[in-house]
Amino acid sequence: MDLKKIHPTDILLSPERGIQEIMRSFLMRANFVPGVRHVMGWRGLKDASSDVFGWTSKIKDFSGIFGMYFNEFEMEDGWIRGRFFVNYFPDPDEELVELFSFYAGVCTQKDDYLLRVRDFLSYPELLEFFSIGIIDLGVHQSADALIFGLESISKQRVIAQNGIFLPQGDRMVEIVKAGDYDQNFPSYSTAMGFYRALAASITFNLEEPPVYLEYMSQPGMEIIYDASGNNWENPSYDAQKEYLYLGYGKANFENTLIRMAKKEASSTMKLIWEKGDAMISNYKNELWWTAHNISDYKTLDKKILGIDDRAQLIILTGFLGSGKTSFLQHFIEYQVQHNRFVAIVQNEIGDIGLDGRLLDHEYSVTEIDEGCVCCTLIGSLKRAIHQILSTFQPDYIVLETTGLANPYNLLDEISEVDELVRFDSITTVVDGINFYNSLNKSDVVRNQISAADILLLNKKDLLTEKEIKKIQQELRKINPSAPILSTKQGDINPALIYGVDPQDIKMTPQEQCDEKANHIHHSHEHYGFSSHRISFTRPLDKELFINKIKSLSPTVFRIKGVLDFVDSETSLLFQYVGGRFEFSEFNNPNMTDRFLILIGQNIQKESIEAVFSD
């Protein structure tokens, strides 16, 4: 076991911080590659702002959010041990809410509940109401052994001795009967969902499986409280305190755990497995045994489809204060919901959660967030992208320029990175409130508008319809071809402006619209956009096809599809935006349809059909 790959410095130099950094590295490195994190069960990860290390995460098969944070530290017999408390914050509509306490349930129904969850370490009541277990991480000072454990109770039970009553009108209504459970939450099984993903991440990072497993249980306790606020513990008749430990590397794990846990005398059940033993049936299918073999995964969906898997490069520009940061936040949130990974490259440090902590000094990484890595642009764009792709495999790379940057100055560099990424578009965010003032103040604003493939007129909620139309007319004079979409706080469906996604390529246009509308409350039609699908039954003449594409109305600005050509032995994926287009090989024999999907503003389907009719 080589822990130096995870924590290159001597952990003894700062053991309390070091054990937290090791945990952070396990979490973050497992989320570098979308395919890897997907297989291991991660569906989102975000640092929690606090004096101690903490994170929120989404896990496969759980609609709520897990929280974990560092709580205590100790050193004993050469072991450096950190204990991390685990919380589960249920989705307000999921059934598990009913198994938490009444007051926890009330908390989930507050309007700001999910906002508070993202910053859960700032709210002591969240830590109290939703605690479900403890994660134990122990590292030997020699860095050649590691212990990873979970401690929780099978049923977290709280009894309201006098019941719970609430006033309703002129009478008191009984919410919980006297002596019934106010809480009866399955803590161990819930915490195991998080433990499994994290254990798989440890195996993945260490590049080797555990050599030791130990499970033990002991009688649990339940809490009773009365109307006066007194509370006490009683033995529970069937709730068990459960402990599960995995050992990596070389150590006498059994004796170590006896000293660490000090629970041997009271255990009611104990199971031990060591390398070479027959596998315990309850654990034989766990991913933590094999996660070291998934290191070559890339983004799964695109690879399965045989589609060009270069990351899409989007240049995001706009004058100071226009709303680029708000747009980025919505963009990242949308991609996270669709299990995609985004790399943000900034040539100025912005406001998207940058906490200044470097994951590794050799990278210019300033933040790993939920589905997003944020980097600072050092030197050329090509070098920055090389740096990102050497460690990450993002679906999108967004270059967020400074508000004073002229995007025309980047065009030469864009041509240099064609083999690394697929340039998508320049998106310019326009400040509707300060449009005329900024336009008169700086020529850069005019350049940002004229260079755009997509124009977002932001802050529409602060403008009248007349003002919006007047600004749109001015924008159209500067840039006659780019679609103009009005937004509030930079909020717009990315599927609308960045086209048909490869993962949805088998859907009909209407299915795509319906599916996207379920996730974000803007449909294509809301902006005067529509999509149209054209099917092809025979190979096409490539030169004739290109001429037809060039003859299309500028109101069609996004096209994607799979086609056969008479002079090509393989099928080709065709992609078009704002007058630019490219072909790439499409090697998925399972997809036999040949088609184009066109997205445009007020497009006439009859005229589109006519273009491709012969």
For residues 140 and 247, give the distance between their C-alpha atoms in angstroms, rounded to a whole number: 11
Question: Are residue 549 and residue 606 in the same domain, yes or no?
Answer: yes
Higher-confidence position of 295 and 161: 161
Residue 164 within any structural domain of the chain: no
For residues 317 and 332, give the distance between their C-alpha atoms in angstroms, rounded to a whole number: 16
Question: Are residue 194 and residue 280 in the same domain, yes or no?
Answer: yes
Residue 570 within any structural domain of the chain: yes
Bridge pairing between strands 269-274 and 212-225? antiparallel
Beta-carbon contacts of residue 145 (< 8 Å; ≥ 6 apart) = 1, 139, 247, 248, 249, 250, 251, 253
Question: Are residue 259 and residue 390 in the same domain, yes or no?
Answer: no
pLDDT recorded at residue 499? 57
Main-chain phi, psi angles of 387, to 5 degrees? -65, -40
Q: pLDDT confidence of 614, banded at 50, 70, 90?
A: low
- pLDDT, average across residues 278-299: 81
CATH of the domain at 509: 3.30.1220.10
Q: What is the length of the chain?
A: 614
Q: What is the pLDDT of residues 23-63, one digit of tens each?
A: 988 988 887 665 677 788 888 788 776 678 899 988 989 99
The single-letter DSSP state of residue 293 is G
Beta-carbon contacts of residue 94 (< 8 Å; ≥ 6 apart) = 63, 64
Domain boundary among 455, 471, 492: 492
- pLDDT, average across residues 474-489: 88
Residue 166 within any structural domain of the chain: no
Residue percentage of the chain with pLDDT more than 90? 37
Per-residue b or e along 55-65, where b marks 16 or more CB atoms closer than 10 Å to that residue's CB: bbbbbeebebb
pLDDT recorded at residue 262? 55
For residues 107 and 583, give the distance between their C-alpha atoms in angstroms, rounded to a whole number: 52
Question: Are residue 286 and residue 313 in the same domain, yes or no?
Answer: no
pLDDT recorded at residue 485? 87
Residue 545 within any structural domain of the chain: yes
* CB burial of residue 606 (10 Å; 0-12, 13-18, 19+): exposed
Residue 133 within any structural domain of the chain: yes
Question: Are residue 401 and residue 421 in the same domain, yes or no?
Answer: yes
Question: Are residue 266 and residue 192 in the same domain, yes or no?
Answer: yes
Share the mean pLDDT of the chain. Answer: 81
Comparing CA positions, the residue from 13, 189, 175 lying closest to residue 106 is 175
pLDDT recorded at residue 450? 92
Residue 599 CA to its chain's centroid (Å): 27
Question: Are residue 442 and residue 576 in the same domain, yes or no?
Answer: no
CA distances from 193 to 30, 120, 281, 550 (A): 16, 20, 18, 52
Question: Are residue 306 and residue 284 in the same domain, yes or no?
Answer: no
Residue 174 within any structural domain of the chain: no
Question: Are residue 443 and residue 351 in the same domain, yes or no?
Answer: yes
- Tokens representing 280 are 């315990």
Residue 536 within any structural domain of the chain: yes
Domain boundary among 269, 293, 317: 293
Half-sphere exposure of 564 (CA within 13 A, CB side): 13
Domain residue limits at 419: 299-492
Domain boundary among 492, 512, 538: 492
Residue percentage of the chain with pLDDT more than 70? 82
Residue 443 within any structural domain of the chain: yes
pLDDT recorded at residue 347? 60
User: What's the one-letter identity of residue 286?
Assistant: E
Question: For residues 454 and 426, is the Cβ–Cβ distance under 8 A?
Answer: yes
- pLDDT, average across residues 97-123: 91
Beta-carbon contacts of residue 524 (< 8 Å; ≥ 6 apart) = 496, 513, 516, 530, 531, 599
Question: Are residue 518 and residue 576 in the same domain, yes or no?
Answer: yes
CA 7-10-12 angle, to 5 degrees, is 120
Beta-carbon contacts of residue 409 (< 8 Å; ≥ 6 apart) = none
Q: pLDDT confidence of 379, banded at 50, 70, 90?
A: low
CATH of the domain at 459: 3.40.50.300
Comparing CA positions, the residue from 35, 562, 559, 118 lying closest to residue 340 is 35
- Tokens representing 519 are 């996730």
Question: Are residue 272 and residue 357 in the same domain, yes or no?
Answer: no
Long-range residue pairs from 478-482, CB within 8 A, at least 24 positions apart, any chain: 478/446, 478/449, 478/450, 479/449, 479/450, 479/452, 479/455, 480/554, 481/554, 481/557, 481/578, 481/579, 482/428, 482/452, 482/453, 482/454, 482/455, 482/557, 482/578
DSSP three-state, residue 428: strand
Residue 250 has pLDDT above 80, yes or no: yes
Beta strands in 401-511 (DSSP E): 421-431, 454-458, 484-486
Domain count across the chain: 3
Main-chain phi, psi angles of 126, to 5 degrees? -65, -40
Which residue(s) pair with 372 in the sheet?
342, 369
Question: Are residue 139 and residue 282 in the same domain, yes or no?
Answer: yes
Main-chain phi, psi angles of 107, to 5 degrees? -60, -40
Prediction pTM value: 0.58
For residues 515 and 269, give the distance between their C-alpha atoms in angstroms, rounded to a whole number: 49
pLDDT recorded at residue 515? 38
